[in-house]
Amino acid sequence: MKKDNTNELVDVMFTVFRLMKAKMSFTNDFIHLSILQIQALMFLCHNKNVDMSDIAEYFHIELPSATSLISKLCDHQLIKRYEDSEDRRMVRITLTGEGKKLVEQAICERRKKLEKMLSYLRDEEKSGLMNILKTLNTRLQQ
């Protein structure tokens, strides 16, 4: 009879995700950003005409949490709020020039950190991980 190691796998996954989260934060000389803040900047980089509801929906968080997330990024002058030209009650969010520059830096740094983490794996382990992640990605998106 095969041993079911699902519990051990879940424990290891949580540990790896926690460690990756800690190592994937972004810090430069002036600012420290969490992964969620970096992802919000990247979301804004790839999506135009975004409002607070779009942020909340994308991250599966409540509107007050989205507002808090965006306010912190506004405080760092990485994003700005502006009134929608067609509906002045609607507040839109966009990256500032500094925000765009920081996103490019964060993407580059994140890639380097991930490449370093993956360097611990042999080629066949990387292929296996790729297959597993593609399978999970496909199933989770259904």
**Could you report the per-residue pLDDT of 41-71, keeping only the tens digit for each?**
999 999 988 999 999 999 999 999 999 999 9
In a domain, 131, yes or no: yes
Inter-residue contact 39 to 26 (CB < 8 Å): no
Q: How far is the C-alpha of 19 from the C-alpha of 27, rounded, in Å?
A: 16
CA dist., res. 35 & res. 86, Å (int): 33
Summarised one tens digit per residue, pLDDT across range 73-129 is 999 999 999 987 888 888 899 999 999 998 898 888 888 988 999 999 999 999 999
Does residue 1 lie in a domain region? no
Report the alpha-carbon distance of residue 27 to residue 9 in Å, rounded. Answer: 31
Which pLDDT value is given to residue 28? 65
Confidence of residue 35 (pLDDT cuts 50, 70, 90): confident
Containing structural domain, residue 73:
6-141
Question: Hunting for tokens 């490449």 — which residue is that?
Answer: 115
Q: Is residue 36 part of a domain?
A: yes
Q: Read off the pLDDT of residues 1-20 as tens digits, 9 standing for 90 and up.
A: 567 888 999 999 999 888 88
| Domain tally, the chain | 1
CATH number for 58? 1.10.10.10
